[in-house]
Amino acid sequence: MTRHFIDLTDAGSANLRLMLEAARTRKDARKGSPKGTVDADAPLAGHTLAMIFEKNSTRTRVSFDMAMRQLGGSTIVMDAGSMQLGRGETIADTARVLSRYVDAIMIRTDDHQKIVDLARYADVPVINGLTDHSHPCQIMADMLTIIEHKGGLGGAWAWLGDGNNVLHSIVEAGALLGFPVRIGCPEGYDPDEGVIAEARSRGGQIELLRDPRAVVRGADVVVTDTWISMGQAHAEEKLAAMMPFQVTKELMAQAAPGAVFLHCLPAHRGEEVADAVMDGPQSLIWDEAENRLHAQKAVLLWCFGKI
The active-site residue out of 26, 108, 133, 263 is: 108
Instruction: Please tell me the count of residues contacting ligand CP according to CB under 6 A.
Output: 8
List the single partner that 226 binds among ligand NVA, ligand CP, none, CB under 5 to 8 Å by kind.
Answer: ligand NVA
58 contact choice in ligand CP, ligand NVA, none (CB below 5 to 8 Å, kind-dependent):
ligand CP
- Return d(Cα 190, Cα 98) in angstroms, integer: 37
Could you tell me if residue 46 is left (phi over 0), alpha (psi between -120 and 50 degrees) or otherwise beta? left
CA angle 219-222-225, nearest 5°? 155
CA dist., res. 264 & res. 141, Å (int): 9
The question of whether 41 is a catalytic residue gets the answer: no
CA distance 157 to 92: 38
CB-closest chain residue to ligand CP:
60
Choose the catalytic residue: 182, 225, 246, 294: 225
Give the integer Cα–Cα distance in Å for 189 and 128: 23
Closest by Cα among 92, 142, 84 to 261: 142
How many angstroms separate the CA atoms of 40 and 300, rounded? 17
Q: Catalytic annotation on 113?
A: no
Residue 278 contacts ligand CP per CB under 6 A: no
CA 204 to chain centre: 19
Residue (70 or 296) nearer to ligand CP, CB: 296
Residues numbered 121-150 forming contacts with ligand CP, rule: CB under 6 A: 130, 138
Give the chain's radius of gyration (CA, Å): 19
> Nearer Cβ to ligand CP, position 54 or 99?
54
Rule CB under 6 A: say whether 229 interacts with ligand NVA: yes
**Those residues with Cβ within 8 angstroms of residue 168's Cβ, 6 or more apart along the chain or in another chain:** 133, 134, 135, 191, 192, 195
Q: 172 contacts which partner out of ligand NVA, ligand CP, none, CB within 5 to 8 A by kind?
A: none
Q: Is 230 in the site for ligand NVA (CB under 6 A)?
A: yes
Applying CB under 6 A, does 169 fall inside the site for ligand CP? no
Check residue 166 for interaction with ligand NVA (CB under 6 A): yes
Binding flags for ligand CP, 25-64, as an x/- string (CB under 6 A): --------------------------------xxxx----
Interface residues for ligand NVA in 264-293 (CB under 6 A)? 264
In the annotation, is 269 catalytic? no
Q: Which is nearer to ligand NVA, 73 or 174 (CB)?
A: 174
- CA distances in angstroms from 13 to 161, 172, 178, listed in the order given: 27, 10, 9
The residue among 196 and 307 lying less far from ligand NVA, judged by its C-beta, is 196
Catalytic residue numbers?
108, 135, 138, 225, 264, 292
